[in-house]
Amino acid sequence: MIFNNQPMLFFFGTRATKVKERKLKRTTCPYCQTKDSFVVSTFSKYFHFFWIPVIPLFKTHIATCSHCKKSYDKAHFTHEMLQALDNENRVNPVKRPLWQGCGCLVLVSLFIVVMSFSFYGVYMRSKYPDKYKIEVDPRLTLLNTDIDGLSRMVQAKDTVTLALKQCIDDDIVGGISTKDIAYFTKRSGTKLLVLLAVRDIKKIEPKNRRALIEVVEDCMRFTNLKDSVTQYYIGVEGKWNTVLVKTPTESDLGGRFADKQLLLPFYGDKPNTIEEKDVDSILVE
């Protein structure tokens, strides 16, 4: 799994541990014909996460002849060996170790603790709404609204977006389908916000995705805004999240997960006091 451009390794799988040894009575080894020489070892398998037992699975049996040392798994037991094993399970059954399910108990306990804190938080916010008021930057609301405005249908009167689309259609050859790219642009004084949504961006290797930003920057140099716009705020959306961000002061070009909040300065400075009623009062010039 990859998170924040850093590899995260998870170790999980199944393991087995020996839980009991018993003799199989009234049996004959098919190989050396020695009687009553079998010792059957019972192993209990379990699923582990980081080597911590989580879920107990099933038991396996291995019979070994003490004379010739030949071993047989249960699938190769003779009829009399199977019958002897059934007799042993009735008389001297194998109990599964309790510790093999401890991880499951830990997960359940952790879930109960997390849910308890969550319900407590909901209760406290409902009882003391003023004390636990969640402040939301209204600029983020504006940005999300503009991201929702991304569209593949570009109006002819939107000359900036139209010029950008035509330029990208010419500059990007192969790899992705340019007809499926959605666009949005907005101007605020000398600042210009450019948003792209590339739904099939997975066809481009993450390390090569920053080229999309370079294409947009090159295209902007050929628009009629090149003399009046001095600050560009560029964001590229993937299928589920923002993957690239470039602003006059900061950038996030890893190509996997980018912080879209770097684009917020386009909408102005962050208000000192953020209240819900202020969302409609902060407008782009």
- 3-state SS of the chain is CEECCEECCCCEEEEEEEEEEEECCCCECCCCCCECCEEEEEEEEEEEECCEEEEEEEEEEEEEECCCCCEEEHHHCCHHHHHHHHHHHHHCCCCCCHHHHHHHHHHHHHHHHHHHHHHHHHHHHHHCCCCCCCCCCHHHHHHHHHHHCCECCCCCCCHHHHHHHHHHHHHCCCCCCHHHCEEEEEEECCEEEEEEECCCHHHCCHHHCCHHHHHHHHHHCCCCCCCCCCEEEEEEECCCCEEEEECCCCEECCCCCCCHHHHHHHHCCCCCCCCHHHHHHCCCC
Beta bridge pairs of residue 52: 49
Cα distance between residue 43 and residue 46, in whole Å: 10
**236 in Cβ contact with 200 (< 8 Å):** no
Per-residue pLDDT of the chain in tens (285 residues, 90 and over written 9)? 334 444 556 677 777 778 888 998 889 999 999 998 999 998 888 777 776 677 778 788 999 999 999 999 988 999 999 999 898 888 888 877 666 666 677 777 888 888 888 888 877 777 766 666 667 788 999 999 999 999 988 887 788 888 888 888 887 656 677 788 999 999 999 999 999 999 888 888 888 888 889 988 888 887 777 778 889 999 999 988 999 999 999 999 998 899 999 999 999 988 765 444 343 433 333
Tokens of 208: 């090569």
C-alpha dihedral, 40 to 44 to 45 to 50, nearest 10°: -130
Q: Is 181 buried (19+), middle (13-18) or exposed (0-12) by CB count in 10 A?
A: buried
pTM, rounded to two decimals: 0.53
Q: Is 216 buried (19+), middle (13-18) or exposed (0-12) by CB count in 10 A?
A: buried
Beta bridge pairs of residue 195: 184, 235
